[in-house]
Copies of this chain bind each other. A is one copy, B any other.
Amino acid sequence: MADKEPQQPKELPIVLVHRLPSYKIPLDPSFRDQLRSQFHMLDPHESPEPYDSFLARHAPFIRVLMTIGYSPISAEFLERLPVLELIVATSAGLNHIDLPCWSRGIVVTNASLAFAEDVADCAVGLLIDVLRRISAADRFVRGRLWPVKENYPLGFKLGDKRVGIVGLGSIGSEVAKRLLAFGCTIAYTSRNKKQSVSFPFYANVRDLAANSDVLVLCCALTKETYHMINKDVMVALGKDGVIINVGRGSLINEKELVQCLVGGEMGGAGLDVYENEPNVPKELFGLDNVVLSPHCAVMTPESFEALDQLIVVNLKAFFSNKPLVSVVSNE
């Protein structure tokens, strides 16, 4: 892949920084310095030159693009980068990237490895919170209701719950590992049955739901998974069923989810992601069996530090012709 090794400071390998103009670069200053000491970071929004001419002038030399957050990458944009070989994404989900780029042989790395543990912690936290009503309990205490009402409603035990994991990648596997320690049983669905795990596999999410008390959504949002959790799946999950979503909002038909929750056709939900962020359906605000967090499952300093390291490892690997560590498969 790499046709020359990085040698001199003045010949640092070029990396195009792709971001929405409105995005402040969420990179730690010391990490930015670290990147700049090893790579020639081209950021069109930092140049006085008009964006289009800046891009056209550098495009023939841009083999690597680092995309910040959820800055969209369209097919049209990719056509302007004829020699692009690698996209380094700083997110776990890639639904902002035109993935048919794979057909051109462009390789994509993502941040799932850096984020998996924190996202899994958040998923488990949301699940305990919904089943044991912790956020609602906190609201009860702060609302000074304890001395008045005395008895707080019973929650539900985590142990023995049948948890169906939708997408058993790096995040889903971390969720499974944690929930086993609580005595949950695990099953999963994913694009393909995984030979390396012994959990029961269901070929479709409806069958998984029919055999689960809880669904945890950790899969990528693609054309195939858009609205995969619809009313049919929720009904199959049942009246006490709980859905945890740490994937993407549009994995769920949010309108049907709200109907099922408001109508008591589901047991509860723990949601970190929504269809129209930062807007959250206000019908959910009155429900005690719902826990709502603002797309913050990856939000720890440790996650971002791991991400920084992952980015550098992948960039260095690419330019020294070594294996990348977090390539997203297009299967």
Contacts and interface: CB of A to CB of B under 8 A. Distances in A.
A306 to B, nearest CB: 9
B141 A292 contact: yes
Interface of A: 117-118, 121-122, 124-126, 128-129, 132-135, 137-142, 146-147, 150, 152-160, 177-178, 180-183, 277-280, 285, 291-294, 296, 299-304
A303 B122 CA distance: 25
A226 to B, nearest CB: 23
B126 A121 contact: no
27 contacts: A117-B158, A117-B159, A118-B157, A121-B182, A122-B128, A124-B128, A125-B128, A125-B132, A126-B134, A129-B135, A132-B296, A134-B293, A137-B292, A137-B293, A138-B291, A139-B139, A140-B294, A141-B293, A146-B277, A147-B278, A153-B299, A154-B304, A156-B301, A157-B303, A178-B178, A178-B181, A180-B181
B134 A299 contact: no
Contact of A154 (B134, B137, B299): B299
Contact of A132 (B122, B153, B280, B304): B122
A139 to B, nearest CB: 8
A278 B125 contact: no
Contacts of A133: 296
A132 B117 CA distance: 12
Contacts of A147: 278-279
Given A138-B135, A294-B137, A301-B154, A121 B159 contact: yes
Given A154-B301, A156-B300, A300-B155, A121 B117 contact: no
Nearest to A143: B285
A134 B137 contact: no
